[in-house]
Structures are given as C-alpha cells and as structure tokens.
C-alpha cells in the first residue's frame, strides 16, 4: 500500500468493488483521509485513502510472467496480472519459484507436446515462459545434481485442474527418465490408469465440485542412480472416513455406492440392491445423480480400470460385496429392548438387511447382531457382557461401516502399488502431492475442520519455504535482511493440535466421556480459548465456533464433531470379520495380538488424522519442495471467464497472497540496475551523463529522491513497500513538466503553421484573380484573330475553285494524247519481249544439256572416289573390330564349340545306334550263312557216304576178271570227281570260316569303337551335367544378387541408361558391348586364328595358372600402394581432387567393378573412415567431402546394374551363357593381356565418354558405403558449424543489456563502441560462416553441397531464434526486434558477399524470424487488421504463432501497444476452430537434421570431371603398375 504522500489528484489507483473485487480508476478529489475515485466503469467511489492501492500504468498489457517483477506487489496487482495473462491463454505464471496454474477449461495441446518438453529440458527456471514442465525439470535436475529427493505440492480447490497438472508432471518426468513398464506400459501410464479406481472409491460430490478428492494422494516416482525411473508408489493420506455414514445436502457419498446401485440388474440382484433412495447412507442428501454422468457407464469403466490394475474378477466381486454390505448395514435400525439400556433389531426390514449383510460378509447373522448391540468388558475377576442402548448401537454400526470402508480403501491402494511396481533400492524420489485445498462453505463441519487443519500445516511449510527463498535471494544479492519479520501461523496450529489444550485434544477428551455432548464440547472450547485471538465465539450460536485461518475466518458447527470423531475398532467387530468365511474379508481384518483384542481401545479420527498429517509433513520435510497452485477461474467451468472474487478467494486459500505478504515484509519491489535506470533515469539526467557505473547511478538517484531503507544488491535495487509509488509519483511529476513544455512548443508550432497557411491562401487567391483577368483579355484577342482567319480562308477557297476547273480541262487533253503514244510503245515492247523469251529458252536448253552431262561425269567420278574411301574405311573398321571384338569372338567361338560338341555328341549317339543295328544284322546274316554251309556240308557228307556204299556194293556184285578193269576205271573217275567236289566244298567252307572270322574281328573292332564312343559320350554327358549344375548355381547366385540389388536399388542405384529396371532384365552374366564403348554389337566375328583371349582346352588353362598367381601378387602390391597413397593428402589438380581421380582410374583399369570378390573396396572405405575419425578437423572433412562427392559422381556415371544381357539373343541356352560368364571372369582377372590393353587405354577418356560397366555386388556395396560416408561427412561438417554458432545464437536473440543501458544513458562518446558491441555476436556468427565457406572453397567442395550446408544452417538459425522468441517474453520487445533485425542485416550482407553460387536460397530459410521481427518493429500495430497481418506482414506464420507473438509483445522503447483486442479475439476463434479440426496447434518449429539431397541430385548438379588430365601423385608416378595414370585425353 502506498503512503498518502504518494496519492495525489490524478493518480491511477485500485479500489475495492463488491462485484469485481477490485476496480481501477483515477482520483478526482482528496478530502483529508477520503478520496474520490472515478472508476473505469463510470462509477464514483468515495473511500478511505488507506484502502486504495496505486496502479502501475506502465505495466505490460499482457502482464508479466513472474509477479515478483510487478512494480506494485499487492492483491489487485496480482489479480490484474493473472487476468491479463489468462485473457491471452497464458495459464501459467510464476511468483518467484511458485507456479500458479489457471485451469483453461479447453484443450491446449501445443503446450504439452514432445517438442515443448525438449525446449524445457535443462532450461533454468525463468529462462523460458512459465510452465509446469519447468517446475518438473527443476525438481529433476536438483535430484540428479544434489542426490536429494524432491517433492512437488499441487494444491487447489476442486475443479482447479490438480489431477491434470499431476498428469503433466508425470508425463514430463517419464520423458526425462522414462522406462518401459509391465506389458509395454510406462510407470506414468500405470499410475494414471489407477486414477479411475481411486476416484471411484475416494472421490465424492461436494458443494463446489462433482468429483472432489476426499483424500490426499502422494505419488512417489522412484529413480535409480542413473536418473531413470525404477518404480512408483501411491501413498494416500487423510481419507474422509466420516463421509461413509454422514453426508449433507446437496453433497453425495463416495461414487462407488452409486455406481453399484446403477450396475446391471443381474449384479444388483446378486447383491440384493435397489435404488440409492432406499439406503440411509445415501438418502441423507437429495442428490443422487450427477449432470452429464451416467453411473451405469461409470460402473463398467471402473470395472475395466480394475482389470487393468490387476484386480481379479473374484477380488472385484468381493470388493463390491463389501460395498453392498455397507449399504445394507446402514439400513439396520435399533429399538429399545426389554431391559434397561438395551437394544434389539427394530423390525423385519432391519432384520433382512442384517441377514443380507451377514450373507455378503459371509459371517453368522447372530454373531453380527451381537457385535452391533453387545459389548464384552474384561475385568480381572470376570468377563462381563452388556448390551448397548439404541443410540450406542447406532454409533457402533457407523463405526463398523467406517472401519470396513477404510480397510477396503487401504487394500485397493496396496493392490495398485503392487501392480505399478516399487523399487526398494531407489536412490531418490520425486513426490507429487495432490491434496484437497482450503474449504470454507456456508455450513462447515468436522470434515472441513480436518481439511483446513491440513492446509494450515502445508501453509506453514509453504511459508517457511517462501521465507527461505527470500533469504536465499537476499544472500545472493548480499544485502542486510536480519530485521525482516517472518509471517507465521504457528498460533493457529497450536490452537488446533497442541497437547494438552488444543481443539483436537478437547474433542478426544469429550469423546471418551459417555455423557459429553456437542454443547458441553463447545462450552469447553469457549472457556479454554476465550483469550485466543485466533478463536472467535459467534454471538448468536451456542455450538458454533470460528477460527481465523491464514485464508480467512471459517465458522464450524460443532453439532456432529463428536460423532464424526469417534473411530475405534471394536474387538467384537474385529473378531467377527476375522472369522469370516470370505478370504477377502478376513484378509482385511487380520488377527490382532491377544492383549489388544481383549479390550476396545479408544481411537479418534482427529488423532489419527494428526498422526497421518505428521507423517506426511515428515516426508515433505525430507524432500526439497516445489509448489504449484492450481486455480479455478470460474464456477461454470467454461473457458475465457475470469471471476475476480473467486480468484482472489482461491489465491488466499492457496497461500499465494500470504507469500506476497511475506515478500512485502521485506522488499516487495526489485528491479535490476538497467530496469531501474531505464524507468527512473529521468529523475536525475545529470547522473546519466557521467561515466559512473549503473550501481553508483542508482545510488545517486535514490539519494537525490531522499529515500531511506532501500538496499542495493549486486545486480538489483531492493525497495521497501511504498517506495516504488513514491518514485513513480516523482517520475510522473517530471514527465508532466516535460509534457507541458512539449505542449507549449507544439502550440507555438501549430499557430505558426496556421499563419503560414493563411498567408499562402491569400497569395493563391490573388494569383487566381489575375489569372481570370488575363484569360478574358486573351479571349477577346483570340476572337479577332479568328475573324481575320475566316476571311482569308474564304478568299483562298474561291480562287482555288477557278484554278482547279482550268487545270482539269488541260489534264484531260494531255491524257488522251499520252494514251495514244503509250499504246503504240506497248505493242512494240510486247513484240520485243516475245523474241527475247524465245531466245532465252533456246539458250537455256543448250546450257542445261551441257550441265547434265557435266553433272553425270562428276557423280561418276565422286562415286568411284567414295567407293575407294569407303573400302579403305571398311578395312580399318574390320581391323578395329578384330582388335576390339576379342571377347565377343572368344564368346562366339566358345558358343560354337559348345554347339559343335553337342552336335558331335548327338552324332556319336546316332552312329552308335546305327552301328549296333548294323552289327546285329551282320551277325544274323553270318549265323544264317554258317547254318546253310553246315547243312550243305552235312548233305555232301551224306552223299559221299551213299556213293561209297554204292561203290562197295557194285564192286561186290561185279564179275571178278572179265569186267574188272572197266569198272575200276569208272569208279576211280567217280571217286576223283567226288574227291574234287569234297575239296571244293572244304575250300568253300574254309572261305566261309575265314569270312566268319573276319566278320567277328570286324564286330569286335566295332564293339571296341563303340565302347570308346560310349566312354566319350559318358564324359561328354558328365561335362554337360557339370555345365548344367554350374548354370543352375549361377542362376541361383544371380537370383540372390537380384534380391540384393532390390535393396541396393532402393537406397543407392538409379535406373539404368536404357530406362529399364534391373529386375526386369533376364538372368545372365554376358556383357554386351555397345558402339559407344568401342565394340560392335552385331558386327563381324574375329577370325579363328586370333587365340589371345580364348582358352582352347584344359591344358592351356593349366599352363596359365602360374602366370595368374604372379599377376594376383602384382595386383595386391598395386592395391597396397594405392591405399598408402590415398591415406595422404594428395591435394587437387586443376580444381579436381587427385585422390578421387586416382581411385576411380585404378579401379576402372583393374576392372574391380566387374569381379565377384575383391577387398580393395573395403580397404578404401577403411582408409576414409580412419581419416575422418577426428570430427573437429573440419579441413580434413571438407577434403574428403570433395573426394567422396567426386568419386560418387564418377561411379554414378560409370556403374550400371547387372542386366545388360537382355540384349543377348533368346535362342542361346542358359548353360552356354553361364559357361561364357564363368570363362569371361577368368579373362577379366588378367586385364594386362595384350588384347585388353588397347581397350583400357580407350576407356580412360573424358567423363562424357565414360563407359558403363555392369556392377557386381561388391561395387554396388562400395557405392552404397561411399554414399553413407558422404552423408556422414556432410552431417559432421553441418553439425560442427551448428555447435560453433549455437552458443552465439543464445546471445543473439536478446540484446546485451549493458550495451543498451549505455545507449540509454546517452554517452555520446561511446555510442559507436556500444553499437559495435551490439552486433559483436552476430559478427562472430558471420565470421564462423565465412571461415567454413573459405574452408570448403579451398577444398573445392561442390557448390551444390555448400548451398545445402548453409541452407540447413540458416534453417537452424531460424528455428533457434524463432523458438526462443516465442518462449521468452523479454525477447518479444520493440528494441529487441530492432537488435535482431540489425543482426539479420549482417547475415543478409554476408549472403550477398558469399554470392548465390554458394548460398543459394539460404536467406529464404530465415522467413519465420524475419517476419516475426518485422512484426515487432512495425508501428501502429493497433491499426492493423488480422487480414493485413496474416496475409501481408506475416504470411508464413501460423495463427498460433501470430497469437503468441501478439500477446507476448511489449514496447520497451516507445510504450506503444500490441494489436487490438478484436484481432486477438479473431485469432482466438481461429485457434479454437483449428483445435476442433485436429489441426496441429504447436507454435514451435522443428529443426530438420536429415540429409537434404540424393545421389541423383548431386550427380546432376556437379560439372563433368576430366579424370585423364589429373597428374598422378609422386608416390606412384614412377611405378610400372600405374603407367595407365599417365595417359592423357586428346
């Protein structure tokens, strides 16, 4: 509050208002201690001067994010600041390190996404806009750095958003140290999934909220030593047990009772339940249903939630049986018994409920009845059983119900903790306390007493923390604070809990005496606390009492205090439920030790409440506390409604105003030296002209104003209450005098301006009159001149007509004469022309005949000469074809040889078949001839024997002498004839035998030849089988390669030059040469004598094995030398990287791209990897970036996927193709043969003439690895530059205050130096950019990559600056916009210097920050419409971003305002529509760290490289294995 000296006529102040709590106005008159105030709503208010508070007219229209920065830290100032921020959807505000969170009653997803979490990760408190994430981050960092547990206390009344705030806290903590929970659920999810269960059994409807938590919940999130979440636990405190039995209208009991009554009919039948109106524990209030809530649906949802947290079906059934039993238990009524002070069950209805209760609890009905109406008293002599009167039995029943429900709630909490999983070995915890806030209703009973007692305890803890923070702030600034008084509420706590003599002690004492009533209890309190200033006795009540709490006075009704305080477990109740046949119920009541079970010890809810509260406070005291105060802005639960009275009450209940009183006890106003000089420098301009430092300047200003009691810290000025108002009054006076001076000068200027305008008008009027007179004179002279001109023209017309008549007559005569002459001349010319035409045709025919003969002779001559030249060219082409077609000829020969072998194989098969047939026919013929010869021989022998027999008979029958001689002679002749015939038969037989033997020999020879042919055929078949197996293996390998190529194609390979994909080509390994590569596709084959490249037989291949081994050793040596060479910095030759060119030429010469296996690629990659191991060596990175990009471009132009064999004729079989593929690999392994050296020399020409080779898998893998390394090197250079400029960007978003203060002070001699200091950080960024540009230029990095680097760097700058601008309100000022704009001008100037070749469109990447800064520095913002802002000034920015900048903007230079309230409202409407349409509402930008180019883009953008003109390095220049590097292009 300001002193009366500072309150003058014209001052802007706050006055109390019954509707708005506080309203601002202006003082119009002061009469002693009374002030007359004209309020902004048109009313006139007269009040005491001590009840008005000064208003800060220079406060930002959007409020401040930390209320300790307010010039006037008082109740109306706090309310106005919160209202201004809430209107702009700024729901979070700091008060020191306390966070005030106002429930927006709408979705604000952009405030809680992952990107926002990343922004607050590691940020200091106050560095960014207030947020619940900032509090969670501070707690987490304190736990990690100090190893101490922390707690976050979330408080507020029902509906203020405590549960949602707790959810956000756990989400952020899970983001910082999250781990996966059971079944993929995080700890945060498991804790939140338990909420529906806890709400069903622990929440109830109260006067202010339909879902009020009637217990305190402390969620312990446990962390291991590495800061990762290792477990969690839910601790519950202070359950309102009395609500089970007593409720007041229009409140409700716990939700679970109503949910069970709304369960499906079959379940209600099982529990024998009816409507809620029929149960005593529920019908004490007439409220049974909640608006907009279906109890039946909530029952099913609760069931599902119980399934999720691991409560089985049997346990759920047992839980609801206990709940139903409590309802039935409440309907049991008692009547007086026959004996004195005895009671019995009142009627059959009560008996039914008693039996039902016993059935549900599975206990004996008789035992239950005895437990309710009888008590056993144990004395040393005997055990006495006595009955209770109906009133005592009713109390026993209620105590029984409260005990059962309390045990049930504890069991559910324990089950939830088991489900979540605790870590007994956790190193530290962060606890989140969600507990009910201060309550003050029209009728307050024992529940409100306990709740407010809890809040008094928490407020004391809160006050101590606030005072501690104040002390730390004072010690940090090194000021004297020893005399500051501490506001404490210990006297209230003593009034409630002190032993003996406290209210709780008196209540317990009254409960222990049977004869005590609420009236005796109240009278006892009146007597005991009559002199206590915190205890007030109402005048018109005998039982009520009032306590003056920190949040205000609360009147309690003591009528039910005694009943609600009684809480003792009766031994009979314990024994009854321990013996229950239901394991669940028996588990709720474990057996007690014998000594405790023999008697019923008194226990009160108040004492138990106090012990639990003490345990909670011990837990909080062992942790470092952090506070979040949740506020409900209105009672209708709708957005954009701010009820001042309701807010003020909640701020009082939440202790925020108490914290402000603590601050006011010390130094409520704190300003940095810069801010103090900026605001009050006008009070002493002479001080600013001096060269003293800021602290001394502030000291002199305060001394000049005559203030006492202030303190000067290291960086701030600390002012006592009222001193800020006094300084503002002096400042207003100075500014008023200055304003009057300005007005005087302005009036002089206006009068002078009016006089000058009047004189100018008179002169102009005179000039116009003279002009009219001159115009009249001119008109008269013009008419006279016109008359003379008309006369002249008429005379001219008459003379002209007579002349034309005479002229026409002469012309007609002349025309007739001239026509006659012309006709005669025309006839003569016509004849002459005809003669000339005839002569021309004759001469034309003669000359054309001569020309045709000459043309024919020339054509004959040319044809002969061209034929000769063509033949010569044909011979040359054939020679070239023979030399360059070695592989094709070898291929064709091998194919022909295979075909010939196949043909011979078929021929041999056919010959063998024919030979076998012929042999079989010859043997058959010989056998038949032999049989016929044998038959003839047998016939001849038979005839010989017959002849002999006939001869012998004839000799015996002939006469002895007379006829002897003739007979002998005749027989001899016959014998001789027969003998000759026998001899001839023997000779023929012998010849037949000889012929048979010759046939046998021929057959044996044929069989031998057939066996040889069969062996050869078997060998050929084996070779064919081998060839087929090889072909099959090659086809399988080719299919594997094709599947690998599918992956490679997606990552690295582009389409082949023919435009067909790799997978679409036939499976073959034959390489087709094209005319562009120097070979003929369908040309002539080489002659058979050229065998340089043909493997004719296995012997020749065996003879080549030894030279091949030596060749491999030589190639290995060359590879070693190449790796050694490229490991050094080879530099550049004519702007081309030497290493890349040498690698490319060597690999191409060695044909490494076309082999199936080679290690050279891996060795090259390893060399590159070892060279870039040091990431800070940017020069090395740039060197290899150039080499990698050049080599990749060459490979992109050279390599093509395996598939060119689709040009092979389809008639060739896969086996022959595979054979040729295998043999061609052997040929490729010896590239130094004479037949290929010429080709290699031809292939190393310009890139335009680069031949495309079919890449095997190692080559494609090498290309893919090279692409990955190129992207890695690019990313390392980009990230190194980001790391270098990232610290500078944090300094570039806000102008250095020392420099700005120097400029404000007006030190002219230092203005140039100060201006230079302002842009020093920007110049450092420009210097870093320039260094990287020069470094990449020196290493000839392609301009395409340089543009991409700077494009992403500028995008990074845009994201960092823009996000910082939106998250830090002090950056959204006019002067800061000018500062950033000047820095952006430095970047623009550098872009012009660097030229578009290397920068490209990088400047366009800054469009967000450029337009945002442009908005900050434009004038007359209130006159701008939303259409102008969104379409003309800032077309790139979204509505969310524009809204954020508009609401955070403040003019620290001219004091102007942001855009109009209509524009703000329109933006809010559009944001609401976007939120409803599921449009992303995040106003922050994301940094894109991906690789922004592909291999195709790089290849297309780079210029062609002539690799032949690169000079080889000295290490391999003289080596014979690298002679090919010396070859130059023509």
What DSSP line would sit under 327-357, residue for residue?
A: HHHHT--EEE-SSTT-EEE-SHHHHHHHHHH
Q: One of 11, 95, 155, 158 is an active-site residue; which one? A: 158
How many CA atoms within 13 Å lie on the side-chain side of 1321? Answer: 19
Give the number of other Cβ atoms within 10 Å of residue 1484's Cβ.
Answer: 18
Is the distance from CB of 1366 to CB of 1492 less than 8 angstroms? Answer: no
- Give the largest CA-CA distance in the chain: 217
> Which of these is catalytic: 166, 195, 206, 213?
213
Q: Which of 25, 77, 96, 159 is catalytic?
A: 159
| Annotated catalytic residue 158 | yes
DSSP notation for 1071-1130: PPP-GGGTS-SS-PPPPTT--TT---SHHHHHHTHHHHHHHHHHHHHHHHHHHHHHTS--
Q: Are 625 and 465 in contact (CB under 8 A)?
A: yes
686 is catalytic: no
Query: Which position among 163, 206, 444, 1215 bears the catalytic label?
Result: 163
How would you classify the pairing of strands 535-536 and 544-549?
antiparallel
Q: Which residues of 223-243 are buried (b: 16+ CB within 10 A; e: fewer)?
A: bbeeeebbbbbbbbbbbbbbb
Q: How far is CA 1351 from the centre of its chain?
A: 20
CA distance linking residue 1356 with residue 1367, whole number of Å: 16
The active-site residue out of 161, 177, 437, 1221 is 437
For residue 1480, count other CB atoms closer than 10 A to its CB: 12
Packing angle, helices 348-361 and 365-373, rounded to 10: 110
- Give the C-alpha separation, 1484 to 1365, whole Å: 10
Token digits of residue 1486: 């994301």
With CA atoms as reference, report the closest residue to 100 among 82, 118, 76, 87: 82
Say whether 463 is catalytic. no
Cβ count near 469 (within 10 Å): 16
**426 carries an active-site annotation:** no
209 is catalytic: yes
Annotated catalytic, 439?
Answer: yes
Strand partners, 23: 15
Determine what percent of the chain falls in helix, strand and coil, rounding each to the nearest 5. 65, 10, 25
Beta bridge partners of 555: 546
Q: In angstroms, rounded to a whole number, what is the distance separating the alpha carbons of residues 351 and 331?
A: 10
Which helix (H) or strand (E) is 1035 found in, with range? helix 964-1051
Tell me if 1134 sits within 8 A of 1510, measured CB to CB: yes
Q: Would you call 74 helix, strand, or coil by DSSP?
A: coil
Kindly name the residue from 6, 71, 93, 209 that is annotated as catalytic: 209
Place of tokens 């000469």: 865
Query: DSSP per residue over 1441-1466, as a string?
Result: HHHHHHHH-B-SSS----S-HHHHHH
Spatial distance between the Cα atoms of 1046 and 1014, rounded to a whole number of angstroms: 47
Question: DSSP secondary structure string, 241-293?
Answer: GGGGT---TT---BHHHHHHHTS-HHHHHHHT---GGG-HHHHTSS----TT-
Are the CB atoms for 152 and 433 separated by under 8 Å? yes
Interhelix angle 1343-1367/1320-1338, nearest 10 degrees: 160
**CA dihedral of 510, 511, 513, 518, whole degrees rounded to 10:** 60
Quick check: is 212 catalytic? yes
Distance (Å, whole) CA 1280 – CA 1292: 19
Question: For 1020, which DSSP code?
Answer: H
356 is catalytic: no
Cα–Cα dist 1164/1200, whole Å: 20
The CA radius of gyration of the chain, in Å to the nearest whole number, is 57
Residue 1131 · residue 1138 · CB < 8 Å: yes
What are the catalytic residues? Answer: 158-159, 163, 209, 212-213, 437, 439
């Amino acid at each position: 509050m300001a002193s009366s000296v500072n309150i003058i006529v014209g001052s802007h102040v706050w006055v109390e208002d019954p509707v708005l709590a506080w309203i601002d106005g202006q003082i119009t008159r002061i009469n002693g201690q009374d002030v007359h105030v004209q309020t902004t709503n048109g009313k006139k208010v007269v009040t005491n001067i001590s009840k008005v508070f000064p208003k800060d007219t220079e406060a930002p229209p959007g409020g401040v994010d930390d209320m300790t920065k307010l010039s006037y830290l008082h109740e109306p100032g706090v309310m106005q600041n919160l209202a201004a921020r809430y209107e702009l959807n700024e729901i979070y505000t700091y008060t020191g390190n306390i966070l005030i969170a106002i429930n927006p009653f709408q979705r604000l997803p952009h405030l809680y996404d992952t990107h926002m979490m990343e922004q607050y990760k590691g940020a200091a408190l106050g560095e960014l806009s207030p947020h619940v994430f900032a509090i969670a981050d501070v707690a987490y960092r304190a736990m990690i750095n100090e190893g101490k547990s922390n707690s976050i206390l979330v408080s507020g009344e029902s509906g203020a958003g405590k549960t949602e705030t707790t959810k956000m806290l756990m989400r952020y903590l899970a983001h910082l140290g999250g781990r996966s929970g059971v079944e993929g659920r995080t700890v945060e999810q498991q804790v939140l999934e338990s909420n529906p269960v806890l709400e069903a059994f622990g929440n109830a409807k109260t006067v202010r909220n339909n879902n009020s938590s009637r217990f305190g919940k402390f969620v312990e999130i446990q962390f291991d030593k590495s800061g990762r979440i290792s477990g969690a636990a839910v601790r519950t405190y202070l359950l309102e047990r009395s609500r089970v039995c007593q409720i007041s209208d229009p409140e409700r009991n716990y939700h679970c009772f109503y949910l069970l009554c709304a369960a499906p009919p079959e379940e209600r039948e099982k529990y024998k339940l009816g409507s809620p109106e029929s149960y005593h524990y529920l019908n004490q209030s007439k409220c049974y249903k909640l608006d907009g809530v279906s109890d039946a649906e909530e029952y099913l949802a609760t069931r599902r939630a119980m399934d999720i947290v691991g409560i089985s079906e049997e346990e759920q059934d047992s839980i609801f049986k206990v709940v139903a039993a409590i309802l039935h238990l409440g309907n049991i009524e008692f009547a007086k018994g026959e004996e004195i002070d005895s009671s019995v069950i009142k009627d059959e209805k009560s008996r039914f409920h008693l039996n039902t209760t016993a059935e549900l609890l599975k206990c004996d009905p008789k035992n239950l009845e005895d437990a309710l109406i009888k008590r056993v008293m144990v004395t040393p002599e005997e055990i006495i059983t006595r009955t209770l009167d109906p009133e005592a039995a009713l109390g026993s029943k209620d105590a029984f119900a409260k005990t059962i429900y309390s045990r049930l709630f504890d069991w559910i909490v324990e089950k939830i903790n088991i489900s979540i999983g605790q870590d007994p070995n956790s190193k530290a915890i962060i606890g989140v306390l969600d507990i009910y806030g201060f309550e003050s209703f029209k009728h307050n009973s024992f529940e409100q007493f306990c709740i407010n007692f809890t809040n008094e305890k928490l407020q004391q803890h809160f006050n101590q923390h606030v005072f501690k923070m104040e002390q730390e702030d004072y010690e940090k600034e090194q000021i004297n604070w020893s005399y500051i008084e501490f506001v404490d509420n210990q006297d209230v706590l003593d009034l409630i809990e002190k032993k003996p003599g406290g209210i709780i002690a008196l209540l317990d004492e009254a409960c222990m005496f049977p004869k005590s009533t609420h009236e005796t209890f109240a009278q006892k309190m009146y007597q005991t606390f009559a002199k206590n200033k915190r205890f007030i006795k109402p005048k018109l009540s005998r039982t009520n009492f009032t306590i003056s709490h920190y949040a205000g006075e609360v009147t309690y009704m003591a009528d039910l205090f005694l009943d609600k305080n009684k809480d003792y477990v009766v031994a009979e109740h314990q024994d009854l439920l321990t013996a229950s046949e239901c394991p669940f119920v028996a588990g709720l009541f474990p057996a007690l030790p014998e000594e405790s079970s023999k008697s019923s010890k008194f226990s009160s809810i108040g004492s138990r409440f106090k012990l639990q509260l003490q345990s909670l406070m011990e837990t909080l005291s062992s942790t470092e506390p952090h506070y979040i105060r949740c506020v409900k802005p209105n009672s209708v639960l709708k957005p954009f409604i701010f009820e001042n009275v309701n807010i003020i009450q909640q701020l009082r209940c939440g202790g925020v105003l108490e914290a402000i009183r603590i601050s006011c006890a010390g130094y409520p106003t704190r300003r940095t030296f810069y801010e103090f000089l900026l605001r009050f420098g006008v009070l002493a301009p002479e001080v600013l002209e001096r060269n003293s430092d800021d602290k001394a300047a502030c000291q002199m200003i305060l001394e000049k104003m005559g203030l006492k009691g202030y303190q000067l810290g290291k960086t701030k000025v600390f002012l006592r209450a009222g001193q800020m108002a006094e300084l503002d009054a002096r400042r207003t006076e100075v500014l008023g005098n200055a304003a009057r001076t300005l007005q005087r000068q302005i009036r002089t200027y206006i009068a002078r301006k009016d006089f000058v305008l009047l004189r100018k008008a008179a002169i102009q009027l005179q000039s116009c009159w003279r002009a009219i007179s001159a115009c009249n004179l001119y008109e008269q002279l013009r008419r006279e001149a016109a008359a003379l001109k008309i006369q002249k023209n008429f005379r001219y017309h008459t003379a002209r007509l007579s002349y034309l008549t005479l002229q026409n007559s002469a012309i007609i005569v002349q025309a007739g004469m001239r026509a006659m002459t012309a006709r005669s001349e025309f006839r003569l010319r016509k004849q002459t022309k005809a003669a000339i035409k005839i002569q021309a045709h004759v001469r034309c025919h003669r000359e054309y005949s001569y020309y045709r003969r000459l043309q024919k002779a020339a054509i004959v001559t040319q044809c002969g000469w061209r034929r000769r030249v063509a033949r010569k060219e044909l011979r040359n082409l054939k020679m070239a074809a023979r030399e360059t077609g070695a592989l094709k000829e070898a291929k064709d020969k091998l194919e022909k040889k295979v075909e010939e072998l196949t043909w011979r194989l078929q021929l041999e098969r056919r010959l063998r078949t024919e030979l076998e047939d012929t042999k079989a026919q010859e043997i058959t013929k010989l056998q038949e001839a032999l049989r016929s010869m044998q038959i003839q021989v047998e016939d001849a022998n038979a005839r010989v024997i017959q002849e002999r027999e006939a001869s012998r008979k004839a000799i015996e029958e002939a006469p002895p002498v007379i006829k002897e001689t003739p007979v002998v002679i005749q027989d001899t002749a016959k014998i001789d004839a027969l003998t000759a015939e026998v001899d001839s038969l023997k000779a023929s037989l012998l010849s037949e035998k000889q012929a048979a033997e010759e046939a046998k020999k021929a057959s044996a020879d044929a069989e031998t030849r057939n066996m040889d042919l069969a062996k050869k055929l078997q060998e050929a078949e084996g070779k064919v089988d081998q060839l087929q197996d090889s072909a099959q293996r090659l086809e399988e390998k080719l299919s594997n390669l094709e599947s690998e190529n599918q992956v490679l194609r997606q990552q690295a390979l582009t389409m082949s030059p023919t435009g067909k994909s790799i997978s679409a080509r036939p499976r073959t390994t034959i390489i087709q040469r094209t005319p562009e590569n120097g070979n003929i596709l369908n040309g002539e084959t080489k002659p058979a004598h050229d065998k340089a490249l043909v493997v004719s037989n296995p012997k020749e291949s065996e003879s080549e094995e030894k030279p091949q081994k030596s060749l491999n050793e030589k190639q290995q040596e060359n590879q070693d030398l190449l790796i050694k060479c490229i490991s050094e910095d080879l530099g550049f030759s004519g702007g081309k990287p030497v290493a890349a060119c040498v690698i490319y030429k060597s690999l191409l010469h060695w044909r490494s791209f076309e082999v199936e296996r080679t290690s050279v690629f891996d060795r090259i990659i390893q060399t590159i990897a070892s060279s870039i191991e040091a990431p800070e060596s940017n020069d090395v990175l740039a060197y290899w970036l150039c080499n990698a990009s050049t080599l990749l471009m060459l490979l992109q132009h050279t390599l093509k996927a395996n598939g060119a064999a689709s040009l092979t004729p389809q008639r060739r079989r896969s086996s022959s193709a595979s054979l040729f593929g295998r043999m061609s690999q052997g040929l490729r392994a010896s590239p130094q043969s004479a037949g290929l050296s010429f080709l290699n020399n031809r292939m190393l020409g310009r890139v335009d003439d680069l031949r495309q080779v079919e890449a095997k898998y190692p080559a494609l893998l090498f290309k893919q690895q090279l692409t990955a390394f190129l992207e890695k090197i690019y990313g390392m250079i980009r990230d190194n530059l980001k790391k270098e400029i990232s610290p500078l960007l944090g300094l570039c978003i806000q102008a250095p205050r020392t420099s700005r203060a120097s400029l404000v002070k007006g030190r002219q001699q230092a203005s140039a130096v100060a201006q230079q200091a302002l842009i020093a950080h920007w110049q450092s960024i420009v210097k870093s950019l320039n260094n990287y540009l020069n470094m990449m230029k020196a290493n000839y990095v392609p301009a395409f990559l340089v543009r991409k680097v700077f494009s992403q760097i500028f995008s990074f700058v845009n994201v960092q600056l823009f996000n910082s601008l939106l998250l830090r309100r002090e950056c959204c000022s006019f002067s800061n916009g000018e500062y950033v704009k000047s820095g952006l001008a430095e970047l623009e100037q550098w872009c012009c210097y660097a030229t578009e070749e290397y920068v490209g469109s990088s400047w366009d990447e800054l469009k967000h920050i450029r337009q945002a800064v442009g908005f900050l520095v434009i004038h007359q913002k209130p006159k701008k419409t939303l259409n102008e802002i969104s379409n003309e000034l800032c077309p790139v920015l979204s509505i969310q971003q524009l809204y954020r900048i508009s609401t955070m903007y403040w003019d620290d230079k001219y004091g102007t305002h942001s855009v109009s309230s209509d524009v703000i409202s329109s933006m809010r409407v559009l944001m609401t529509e976007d939120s409803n349409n599921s449009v992303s509402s995040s106003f922050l930008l994301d940094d894109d760290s991906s690789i922004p180019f592909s291999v195709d883009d790089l290849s297309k953008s780079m210029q062609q490289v002539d690799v032949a003109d690169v000079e080889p390095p000295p290490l391999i220049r003289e080596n014979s294995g690298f002679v090919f590097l010396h070859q130059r292009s023509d």
